[in-house]
Amino acid sequence: MAKKKKTGPQKHTFRRILKYAAPYRKSLVFAMIFAVLYVVLTLTAPVLIGKAIDCAVSEGNVDFGAIAQLLLMTAVTVTGCAVFQWLMALFINSVSYFTIRDIRSDVFAKFNSVPLKYIDGHPHGDLISRIINDTESIGDGMLQGITQLFSGAVMIICTLAFMIMLNFVIALVVVIITPLSMFVAAFITRLSQKQFREQSKTQGEISAYIEEYIGQQKLVKAFGYEDDAQEGFDEINERLLVCGKKSQFYSSLANPSTRFVNGLVTTAVCITGAVSVINGGLTVGQIAAFITYANQYTKPFNEVTGVIPQLQSALAGADRVFEVLDSADQLPDPADPCSTEGCKGRIDIDKISFSYSPDKPLITDFELHVKAGSRIAIVGPTGCGKTTFINLLMRFYDVTSGDIRVDGKSIYDMKRDDLRSLYGMVLQESWLYNASVRDNIAYGKPDATLDEVKTAAGKAFIDRFIERMPDGYDTIITEDGGNLSQGQRQLMCIARVMLCDPPMLILDEATSSIDTRTELKIQEAFNNMMKGRTSFIVAHRLSTIKEADVILVMKDGSIIEQGSHEVLMKKGGFYHDLYNSQFAPVRGTFA
């Protein structure tokens, strides 16, 4: 029973890989046909060579004509072997590459269908490692494994048939001894399987670590954290070294162990064959052919055990890949979604509750009713739930209870794409990708004309800067806007929203990285844009939200105060203290 538990998941994983390869079964069939032809020609060569040996009976008694003919046939046979082996590899490679392409596509598509909490809950470097490194190891394992299994299985069957035709007794000796190598290989495989899984897991961990520290290299240097970062990396790297050495050590035992057993096979064939030649049961040429067949028969066992590391690594990588594919998708959109056309922007939030983990409630019985066209500011201390509230509005996360309605329609009765198209969103952390300035601004409206893009850039007060760039709107922005300042990146994201011109706005510290002078201009542009639009503004600088129709003061996931700036200041409560704290003198000693 214990044995089944160990091998069961591995067999299931292998079956799933084969399922991905199923659409390319025609190529597999051709590969099998060429494998058979390759093996048959490979096994024909020893027969021809054996006959050539028998043509040299004794000194002065050599049939050179027959030998020349046999050698010519052998040359043709060897050439055919090379051609069919190449064709077999060609078709197997195509199956492998297409299969890995499909797996990668499914994993990437899966990232778009899982809930956002799945992406947030896993190190991004680890997810990247699964779609790149682990799928690559599956491909390598398939190339090595399928090639050896195809040609090896055919080689064993055909060689056995040839040996039985030559001499049944010697063939029986080979068949009895050879399986010992498989028992040895199976035992070693079980030892190395755990280590390969640990190795794949640690590879994902080190990828996540590297991705995190390279992405935040400025921060690492600013705080002088280089030595600590190096120590953390060395610790993971050392663990990867240890499990890598163990996995390679255990797996590397398989090949020499099976070669030792196969050496016993060759020895047994030589002894048994010599006795048979002495007794007249075989000719010298036939025993030479038989020894070649014995080596050919044991060769697939050696080759299969030789690729055990790749196969184990492939299965371990496949487990991690299928773990992503098996994760639960986000709840599907309704079959009959309600329309979002003509959105006015009235928001009703009815006693919603939410928590990232069941044991730590964050938002409880949250209730809010927003009139269409209102300007709502959300303030409060760090961790009070401001950004979480925005995530719930956009349905990046789903509430655990309660409901959110837009114009009286539940957001859970709408398609996610339709709901999110109602909002224009500018975050504190700007995001740009490796493409032209024009493509980045038009990210939310790919069919926008150049004039529309320029108009949006003008509204965001970044048009002059863009025109001074080497290629203007066709200038390529490096990954994550590396060739722009933080303020310029944020202005581009603001231009992106202004181009989309959505019915509702979410501004989460949208001007945090912009100089005061430009901020005043942007604020004016936002004020014009927010007219008649429901807008949610998250801000830490409370001076920027004094004009809001309603200010929501949040603390511990609940609204503790709400009203206009004047009303809340007269109240003298939490907002009053929070506002005045921004202008209080900082105590301390300065040189």
Domain ranges of the chain: 24-325, 347-581
Burial class of residue 556, CB neighbours in 10 A (0-12, 13-18, 19+): middle
Mean pLDDT, rounded, for 18-26: 87
Name the percent of the chain lying above pLDDT 70.
86
Q: CA separation (Å) from 312 to 69, 131, 253, 485?
A: 47, 18, 14, 47
- Alpha-carbon span 578 to 382, nearest angstrom: 12
- pLDDT of 7 above 60: no
- pLDDT of 305 above 70: no
Q: What is the pLDDT of residue 404?
A: 92
Q: What is the pLDDT of residue 588?
A: 46
Tens digits of residue pLDDT in 507-517: 887 666 667 77
Q: What is the pLDDT of residue 1?
A: 37
- pLDDT of 83 above 90: yes
In this structure, are residues 140 and 314 in contact, taking their beta carbons and an 8 Å threshold? Answer: yes
Give the residue among 459, 426, 445, 456 at the shortest CA–CA distance from 539: 426
24-325 belongs to CATH 1.20.1560.10: yes
Q: What is the pTM of this model?
A: 0.69
- pLDDT of 169 above 90: no
- Alpha-carbon span 140 to 537, nearest angstrom: 51
Q: CA separation (Å) from 62 to 52, 57, 67, 293?
A: 10, 6, 8, 25
For residue 403, what pLDDT band results from cuts at 50, 70 and 90?
very high
Q: 347-581 has which fold?
A: Rossmann fold (3.40.50)
Tens digits of residue pLDDT in 323-347: 889 988 888 888 888 888 888 889 9
In this structure, are residues 178 and 262 in contact, taking their beta carbons and an 8 Å threshold? Answer: yes
Q: Which amino acid is at 295?
A: N
Q: What is the pLDDT of residue 165?
A: 76
- pLDDT of 364 above 90: no
Mean pLDDT, rounded, for 291-309: 69
Burial class of residue 258, CB neighbours in 10 A (0-12, 13-18, 19+): buried
Tens digits of residue pLDDT in 89-105: 888 888 888 999 999 99
Phi first, then psi, for residue 510 (nearest 5°) are -70, -20
Q: What is the pLDDT of residue 405?
A: 92
- pLDDT of 318 above 60: yes
- pLDDT of 22 above 60: yes
Find tokens 């520290």 and name the residue.
213
Q: What is the pLDDT of residue 5?
A: 40
- pLDDT of 220 above 60: yes
